[in-house]
């Protein structure tokens, strides 16, 4: 994206906005000159004191961590700034073309990468920035980092939008089970009504409004482009965790609606009887056996037990907080919910593990917290974990030692 260039107007025609734009352009040009090594040192920046050096080191550490995660904000950084991350941010910073980004990015890596692993570690990064900024003032240093943070934010936003589009495309293919290339309005209405309880109120009208807003050819169907456009509009304010959980729940709703549409009434009735039996039988038995520091582990691939957990919470008068764990940052968010809303406030926490995610580190951390803080946990707290796996023998012992387990596949006769 090309940066706006300021055009000088005659002095008598300049406004306050023009002056602010000119000042901003000067700040950007100065930051670019510093990072390019073409900035003239300022006397005020000579001879940094220990406090200023420490302040700059702290700021560079924060910048490194943000830069390290710039191409995927939903996962934890690798501890390195890799070639694509370096190139993407500097291309924004210097307004390079793709060709310039490839040439200059490769040259920078070759110059700074002392161990020749094709990426910059923390020390290499700090040495690089510190060398260029050792003779500039604190204000110039802060301006440089502010502009770098801004460029990283733009790159991160683009990367996150691309990740979300990939998940939405996968959802569309799953939804389009008949491979017709479109999703019908009635299918959309059924899934959304199940997703957010709009049925009987304004479910159909709301869905019709959504479809109409993006259905450019007015055929009552959404192709993939229209489908993405609709869900992008609905979820643009969502955090990565909220977006992932929306995708998960939509997948489960699509599976349920398609199950009802595809199978016989007898099969649907059997499934509902199973859910009712688990809610009234096995789940109540689990609750009776539970303790605040005993996690409930539901595992299996037969069906999603979310409705059963929700019913159990309602029957017990408990507040339920769902969490989706599909990446390392999701782990941190879930642990925060467990310790704050769970341990302190006594809520029930329902954790859903991603189908392709290995949760060992998360479950180990949860197990340690349950074991070491059991005396301070509110008595009403319960932790529910749904693992969409056929077996859980590989889960960490410290989590499993007190876990109350329910094999959903065995309970359903599979």
Task: Tell me how far apart the alpha carbons of residues 372 and 352 are, in angstroms, rounded to a whole number.
Answer: 23
The pLDDT assigned to 205 comes to 46
Residue 367 or residue 190, greater confidence: 367
Model confidence, pTM: 0.59
Please name which of 74, 64, 67, 68 lies closest in space to residue 333, comparing C-alpha atoms: 74
What separation in angstroms does the CA of 377 have from each of 107, 201, 284?
55, 40, 21
| pLDDT tens track for 193-242 | 777 653 334 434 455 556 666 777 777 788 898 889 888 888 888 887 78
Q: Which residue has the tokens 């706006």?
A: 4
- Of all residues in the chain, what percent are helix, strand and coil, respectively (each to 5)? 60, 10, 30
pLDDT tens across 308-364, in order? 888 888 888 899 988 888 776 678 888 989 999 999 999 999 998 887 778 888 999
Residues, the chain: 414
Beta strands at 221-223 and 182-184: parallel, antiparallel or unpaired:
antiparallel
Alpha-carbon torsion (26, 30, 31, 32), positive or negative: positive
Give me the pLDDT at residue 246, please. 84
Q: Alpha carbon of 226 to those of 176, 213, 218, 219: distances in Å?
A: 13, 9, 11, 12
What CA–CA distance (Å, rounded) separates 106 from 117? Answer: 13
**Helix 224-235 / helix 203-214 crossing angle, nearest 10 deg:** 120
> What DSSP character marks residue 11?
G
The answer to whether 63 touches 126, Cβ cutoff 8 Å, is no
114 vs 106: CA distance, rounded Å: 14
> What digits encode the pLDDT tens for the residues 254-270?
877 776 666 555 555 65
């Amino acid at each position: 994206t090309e940066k706006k260039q300021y055009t000088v107007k005659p002095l008598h025609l300049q406004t306050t906005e023009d002056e602010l734009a000119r000042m901003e352009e000067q700040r950007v040009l100065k930051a670019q000159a510093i990072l390019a090594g073409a900035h003239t040192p300022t006397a005020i920046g000579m001879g940094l004191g220990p406090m200023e050096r420490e302040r700059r080191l702290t700021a560079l550490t924060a910048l490194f961590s943000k830069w390290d995660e710039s191409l995927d904000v939903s996962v934890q950084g690798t501890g390195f700034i890799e070639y694509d991350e370096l190139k993407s941010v500097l291309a924004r910073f210097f307004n390079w073309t793709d060709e310039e980004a490839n040439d200059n990015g490769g040259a920078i890596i070759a110059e700074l990468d002392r161990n020749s692993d094709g990426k910059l570690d923390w020390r290499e990064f700090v040495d690089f920035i510190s060398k260029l900024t050792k003779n500039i003032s604190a204000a110039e240093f802060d301006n440089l980092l502010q502009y770098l943070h801004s460029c990283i934010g733009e790159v991160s936003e683009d990367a996150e939008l691309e990740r979300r589009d990939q998940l939405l495309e996968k959802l569309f293919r799953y939804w389009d089970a008949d491979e017709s290339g479109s999703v019908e309005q009635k299918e959309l209405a059924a899934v959304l009504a199940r997703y957010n309880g709009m049925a009987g109120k304004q479910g159909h009208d709301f869905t019709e409004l959504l479809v109409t807003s993006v259905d450019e050819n007015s055929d009552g169907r959404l192709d993939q482009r229209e489908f993405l456009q609709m869900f992008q509009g609905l979820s643009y304010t969502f955090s990565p965790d909220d977006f992932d959980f929306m995708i998960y729940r939509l997948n489960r709703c699509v599976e349920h609606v398609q199950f009802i549409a595809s199978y016989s009434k007898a099969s649907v009735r059997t499934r509902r009887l199973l859910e009712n039996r688990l809610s009234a039988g096995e789940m109540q038995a689990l609750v009776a056996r539970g303790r605040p520091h005993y996690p409930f582990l539901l595992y299996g691939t037969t069906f999603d037990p979310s409705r059963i957990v929700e019913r159990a919470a309602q029957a017990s008068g408990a507040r339920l907080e769902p969490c989706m764990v599909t990446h390392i940052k999701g782990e941190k968010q879930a642990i925060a919910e467990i310790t704050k809303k769970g341990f302190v406030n006594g809520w029930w926490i329902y954790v859903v593990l991603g189908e392709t995610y290995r949760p060992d580190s998360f479950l180990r951390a949860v197990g340690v917290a349950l074991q070491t803080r059991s005396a301070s946990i509110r008595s009403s707290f319960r932790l529910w974990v749904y693992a969409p796996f056929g077996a859980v023998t590989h889960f960490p012992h410290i989590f499993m030692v007190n876990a109350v387990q329910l094999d959903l596949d065995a309970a359903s006769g599979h």
